[in-house]
């Protein structure tokens, strides 16, 4: 469940706190890396595919950047995402609504319900 929340938070940060250009560039790189990871059989195979296909070089060319510039921009974007994510997590409040929801809808001892503010 935590990975679901992490994914939702990451999507929120990307959509709300990155510029359009940063978002397009970041999503392009992530999507290409995800496609390559789906083809890879092992972590070593993933690295080999990255080296062979040079996706970062192609993205850099598409955005009129050198490979070095692309990597610097990606590093800045990841720092921005990490800072914003930490800030949101620190400010978020979790309210346990298990008693209210489970009484009204179901009896499941192993399920918890939370309302979040700030996420």
pLDDT digits (tens, 9 = 90+) for 38-70: 999 999 999 999 999 999 999 999 999 999 999
Please say whether the beta carbons of 36 and 50 come within 8 A.
yes
- The answer to whether residue 102 sits within a structural domain is no
Domain holding 34, by residue range, is 2-91
- The answer to whether residue 36 sits within a structural domain is yes
Q: Tokens 């990307």 sit at which residue?
A: 14
pLDDT at 1 over 60: no
> Taking the mean position of all CA atoms in its chain, how far away is CA 80?
12
Q: What is the mean pLDDT of residues 10-39?
A: 96
Mind giving me the DSSP string for the chain? -HHHHHHHHHHHHHHHHS-HHHHHHHHHHHHHHHHHHHH-SSHHHHHHHHHHH-HHHHHHHHTT--HHHHHHHHHHHHHHHHHHHHHHHHH-EEEE-HHHHHHHH---TT---EEEE--
Among 23-27, 35-39, 59-63, 97-101, the minimum mean pLDDT is found in 97-101
pLDDT at 30 over 70: yes
pLDDT at 29 over 60: yes
- The answer to whether residue 83 sits within a structural domain is yes
pLDDT at 119 over 70: no
- The answer to whether residue 53 sits within a structural domain is yes
Burial class (CB in 10 A: 0-12, 13-18, 19+), 53: middle
- The answer to whether residue 113 sits within a structural domain is no
- The answer to whether residue 75 sits within a structural domain is yes
- The answer to whether residue 100 sits within a structural domain is no
* Cα within 13 Å of Cα(103), Cβ side: 4
Give the mean pLDDT of the chain: 90
- The answer to whether residue 107 sits within a structural domain is no
If one counts the domains in the chain, the total is: 1
Among 2-11, 46-55, 92-101, the minimum mean pLDDT is found in 92-101
């Amino acid at each position: 469940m935590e990975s679901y929340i992490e994914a939702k938070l990451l999507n929120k940060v990307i959509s709300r706190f990155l510029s359009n250009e940063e978002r397009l560039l970041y999503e392009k790189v992530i999507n290409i890396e995800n496609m390559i990871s789906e083809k890879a059989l092992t972590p070593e195979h993933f690295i080999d595919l990255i080296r062979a296909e040079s996706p970062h070089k192609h993205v850099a060319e598409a955005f009129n950047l050198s490979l070095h510039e692309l990597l610097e921009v990606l590093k800045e974007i990841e720092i921005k995402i990490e800072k914003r994510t930490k800030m949101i997590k620190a400010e978020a409040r979790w309210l346990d609504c298990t008693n209210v929801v489970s009484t009204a809808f179901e009896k499941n001892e192993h399920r918890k319900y939370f309302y979040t503010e700030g996420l």
